[in-house]
Every structure is written in structure tokens, then in C-alpha cells.
Amino acid sequence: MNHILIELIVILMFILIFLFFKDKRKMLIYSLVFSTVFELLGLLSNGYSYNDNFSFSIFNLPLFVVLSWSIIIVTSYTLVSKITNHRLTKAFICSLSVISVDLVFEAPSVTIGLWKWNTFSNSIFANINPYNFIGWLCVSFLFVYFYEKKPIYSLVLALPVYVLIGVIHLGLSMIKIIANINPFIMLFILYLAFVISSIVLYSKHKIKDKYKLNIKELVLIFLFRIPFFLFGITVYIWRRDFSLIFVLLIMFIGIVQEVVLYMLIIVEWKIKIEKRKKK
């Protein structure tokens, strides 16, 4: 029952976002195809597997998963587009916005058995593979970066480049020194690099033209994203396993990132309003 409820809610959300955000329909479709191919590659590599109790699946890939990622990518892109038009800046910040959701959503989902990681098992980290976050940082960055150049590039270039990154990583992992590096250290370094890059680039590439905040659109985006955060927080509290400080930390980081992005949008809007009044 829980599975079908989750599936129906996500399907309804996808339909609604398709109806309300007419100018983002192309990106919804592209991100849907992108997410489907990426997830199927993950299943083929046997890195993880999904629960068999989902009602709507394609090749053991639950429909709600790819629909969720499409919603998350498009809403992240729409939010970030409010504060910058610069392609590289947008790709960096958007990738952080995407994993904001995953940081909160991942651990509780694994805990209640929506999916499991076959290649990583450590109870201290709630069986979360750090490469999950590394992967989504990279794929969302590549998708947005190439989509900004030309939408079709997000499929014909982003996925092959990601596969190439995987091949390079596989080759490097055969080197003993690199193989012994804790993947969580790699995640921390990459995450820090993305955060620093986002801050530096954003400081140089803020939107400088006339800016009008669409409150209705901002509220709608919030309503499409909040269910993922509420799900993660609710499940975590329900399970009452507060001993996993790491899980609590990554969920906190995800929530903080989400709040910061909304604050940036609103603050920039207020600054521009003040400038107009002075003129």
C-alpha cells in the first residue's frame, strides 16, 4: 500500500508540473529520458536494486524513480534560473540543488526498503553508497550544462561523458593508492569543490537585468519539492534511529542548501526592488 501511494503521488506531481510549467515541458521530457537511461545503466551494473513491490516498472526500474528525478531536475533548474543566466554557474548550483533533495531523501528510502545498494554495506552510513551523491552531482551538472548549450546535447553528450568518467574512475580504482581512498573523502572533496565553484561563479554572474519575481511560480516549485523533504524527514523521525549522526548531518546539509537557494532568490529580488525605488 505504501508503495502504490508513493507511486501515485509522484505520478500526479509529474502530471501537474507538466500542466503548470508549459515552458519546461521539453526539459521534463529530456530529463525523463536522461534519468531513465542513467538509472538503467545503474541497474545493469548491479550497483543497486529496487524493491519488487512497485506497481509501475520498466525492466525492474520503478516509474516513480525517473519521474521523481525529472521533477527534481526541472524544479532545480527553474529555481537557479532566477539568480543566474550563466551556463557554468547554473550547472554548478543546479547540481547542488538536485542533491539537496537526495541528501534528505536517500537514507530514509534505503531504510524502509524502497531500494538497496548491492556494492556498499556499512551500517554506520545506513548502507548509503557515497558514489550515489557523487554520481548525481556529476550527471545533473552535465545534463544542465549541455542542455543550456542545446537541449539534444543533454542526451547525446551528457550520458557518454558520464560513462567516460565512470570508465576513467574504474581505471584509476585499479591503482592501489587511489583504491584505498575512502569514497566519503572523495565525496567531501568533490562536494566542497562544487560549493566553492558555485560561490565564486555566482558572485561574478548574478542576473543583472530587470528581474521580476513570480511568486506564484516560486510557490508552485516549493510545493513540488517539499513532498520529497517531508517524506525523508517523516521517515527518519518515524524510525527514531537518531544514532546515525552521519545521516542526520547529510539531511541537515540538504535542507540548508534548499533554504539558502530560496533566500538568494528572495534577497536578490528585494535588492532589485530597492534599486528601482531609488531611481
Query: pLDDT band for position 242 (50/70/90)?
Result: low
pLDDT digits (tens, 9 = 90+) for 112-148: 888 888 766 555 555 677 888 988 899 999 999 999 9
Least confident residue range of 2-16, 94-108, 151-165, 172-186: 172-186
What are the grid coordinates assigned to 118, written together?
A: 548491492
Identify the pLDDT of residue 271: 62
Query: pLDDT band for position 63 (50/70/90)?
Result: very high
Percent of the chain at pLDDT > 90 equals: 43
pLDDT digits (tens, 9 = 90+) for 29-60: 999 999 998 888 878 877 788 988 888 888 88
Q: Whole-angstrom Cα distance, residue 107 to residue 122?
A: 12
Identify the pLDDT of residue 42: 79
User: Could you list the residue range(s) of the whole structural domain that residue 147 is in?
Assistant: 2-278
CB-CB contact of 105 with 231 (8 Å) = yes
Identify the pLDDT of residue 264: 86
Residue 117: beta bridge partners?
A: 48
Closest CA to 253 of 75, 130, 77, 104: 104
For the chain, the domain total comes to 1
Enter the pTM of the model.
Answer: 0.90
Identify the pLDDT of residue 180: 73
What are the grid coordinates assigned to 228, written together?
A: 520529497
Q: Is 226 exposed, middle or buried (0-12, 13-18, 19+ CB in 10 A)?
A: exposed
